[in-house]
Amino acid sequence: MEQTFLSWEIAPLTPLLQNHEVHIWCADLNIHDDLLQQMLDTLSHDEKERAARFVRDEDRLHFIAARSILRNILS
């Protein structure tokens, strides 16, 4: 099986979405503990409850990182 590596550009500070354009984002979900607490603070009550239901710590931490990053991109 051949491996293909994608080259990702650094995200612009103010991404502009043109008509008929799609942006695809890639983010590392392995975040340092100090930053994870800040990310958790950005989540809604429902998202925090959902995160608490994950059995595996890694899944819970990835959920927190992903939701926080998504909120940041959409804002």
Tens-digit pLDDT string for the chain (75 aa)? 566 666 667 777 777 788 888 888 888 899 888 899 999 999 999 999 999 999 999 999 999 999 999 998 888
H or E element: which one contains 19? Answer: none
Q: What pLDDT does 17 receive?
A: 80
pTM of the model: 0.74
Q: What pLDDT does 60 receive?
A: 95
Q: What pLDDT does 73 receive?
A: 83
CB 25 within 8 A of CB 73: yes
Report the distance separating Cα 73 and Cα 68, nearest Å: 9
